[in-house]
Structure 1
Amino acid sequence: MTIQEFTLADLKRILHESAGTDEGIDLNGDILDSDFEDLGYESLALLETGSRVEREWDITLDDDALTDSRTPRDLINAVNAQLAVAAAA
């Protein structure tokens, strides 16, 4: 079975669709290690983002995956780890 990969492009799309983009924030820049709060996304926006990721990618993220993910890199790694678990099941 091929493991799907969740990418930065996927995250940017979902962030934009679920919470929009603050004026003055360039999601096309180097944001992998930027804090979500610095990018204009607070906890509610991340909960909505997590919910959309779960629906689109047919996985379940535990609460810690969202609360512990301070940067896009953290969240991408958490999603990909869960995708790997799902593919192995």
Structure 2
Amino acid sequence: MDRLTTDRLMEIMRECAGEGGAVETDRRPEEVEFAALGYDSLAMLETLSRLEREFGVTIDEEEFAGAATPAELTTLVNRVVAGDA
């Protein structure tokens, strides 16, 4: 696997931390903040570790923390995988 999709990211998050919370919004799920989806800092650290192992990269923790939505995190991971970070 050479690119992360938001669908795969959400699978990883469910595997690491469970389903998260139900959210009613008019935004697409990948545009909703992780906190609103029910994922706390521990869930995010588990996700970071899993992404680094799965993609064989090191992701800057500050950049990771700045990714507030699944779409932003997917973009960050793909940028790091491509060597653009």
TM-score category of the 2 structures, normalised to the smaller one: 0.7 to 0.9
8 Å contact from structure 1 (residues 5, 80) kept in 2:
yes
Q: Which residue of 2 aligns with 1:80?
A: 78
Provide the TM-score with structure 2 as the length reference: 0.85
CA RMSD of aligned residues (A): 2.1
Partner of 2:62: 64
- The percent identity for this pair of structures is 35
Letter aligned with residue 67 of structure 1 = A
The structure with the largest alpha-carbon Rg is 1
Residue number among 9, 12, 30 corresponding to 2:10 in the alignment: 12
Between the aligned partners of 2:21 and 2:82, the Cα distance in structure 1 is: 35
Contact 1:6 1:79 in 2 (8 A): yes
Give the drift of 1:66: 1.8
CA gap of 1:34–1:23, structure 2 versus 1, over 3 A, is closer
**CA displacement at 1:64 relative to structure 2:** 1.4
**Equivalents in 2 of 1:7, 1:60: separation in Å?**
18
Given that 1:65 and 1:75 are in contact with CA atoms closer than 8 Å, whether structure 2 keeps it comes out as no
Structure 1 unaligned regions, length at least 5: none
Superposed CA offset, 1:39-85 (max 9, x none): 00011111110100000111110111221011001100110000110
TM (normalized to structure 1)? Answer: 0.82
Partner AA of 1:24 in structure 2: A
